[in-house]
């Protein structure tokens, strides 16, 4: 329907707002989908580079992680997003920190750099559980000292 100028009359407030909201929602979903796709691709590239640096074949890592060769290949190519459990198995197979893979996958947030945490996480002589215990103790000391510092300063 057009008015006397040949232009369409303004849409009613409710239906126009709904259309705008729907368009905005579609755009948000598209951007989020692209971000997830990029993150999965980055994760796969990170796993591949770690595997290549460790001089481990795809077949060897798949066996160590308990997954099939095709599935690991799809992860590396960014076609599949592995679960946290599979990431942990891949981390063990690569002898890298599971936390590093979780951060890369977007499961965990990147923390501020810490030479102590970096040293603990990169140590291949201790298990993942031992690393977690050390990190928990270290962080509890930091929290305790953060509370005490203002009192000491006065």
Task: Break the chain into its structural domains and give their ranges.
Answer: 1-110, 111-154
* Distance (Å) of CA 81 to CA 16, 29, 62, 107: 38, 18, 15, 11
From CA 62, how far away is CA 71, in angstroms rounded? 8
Length of the chain (residues): 154
DSSP tag of 68: -
Q: Indicate if the pLDDT at residue 148 is higher than 90.
A: no
Instruction: For domain 1-110, give the CATH number.
Output: 1.10.260.40
Confidence label for 86 from pLDDT (cuts 50, 70 and 90): very high
Please answer whether residues 77 and 107 qualify as being in contact, where contact means their C-beta atoms are separated by less than 8 angstroms. no
Q: Indicate if the pLDDT at residue 34 is higher than 50.
A: no
pLDDT in tens, 55-79: 999 999 999 999 999 999 999 998 9
Q: At what angle do helices 69-76 and 84-94 cross, to 10 degrees?
A: 100
- Per-residue pLDDT, 16: 66
What is the reported pTM?
0.49
Please answer whether residues 58 and 73 qualify as being in contact, where contact means their C-beta atoms are separated by less than 8 angstroms. yes
């Amino acid at each position: 329907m057009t008015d006397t100028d040949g232009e369409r009359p303004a849409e009613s407030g409710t239906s126009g707002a709904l259309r705008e909201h729907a368009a905005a929602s579609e755009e948000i979903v598209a951007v989020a989908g692209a971000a997830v796709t990029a993150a999965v691709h980055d994760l796969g590239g990170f796993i591949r580079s770690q595997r290549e640096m460790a001089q481990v074949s795809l077949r060897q890592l798949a066996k160590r992680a308990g997954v099939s060769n095709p599935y690991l290949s799809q992860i590396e190519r960014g076609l599949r997003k592995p679960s946290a459990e599979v990431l942990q198995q891949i981390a063990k197979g690569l002898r890298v920190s599971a936390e590093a893979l979780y951060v890369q996958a977007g499961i965990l947030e990147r923390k501020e750099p810490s030479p102590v945490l970096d040293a603990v996480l990169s140590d291949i002589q201790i298990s993942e559980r031992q690393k977690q215990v050390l990190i928990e103790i270290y962080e509890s000391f930091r929290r305790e000292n953060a509370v005490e510092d203002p009192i000491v300063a006065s």
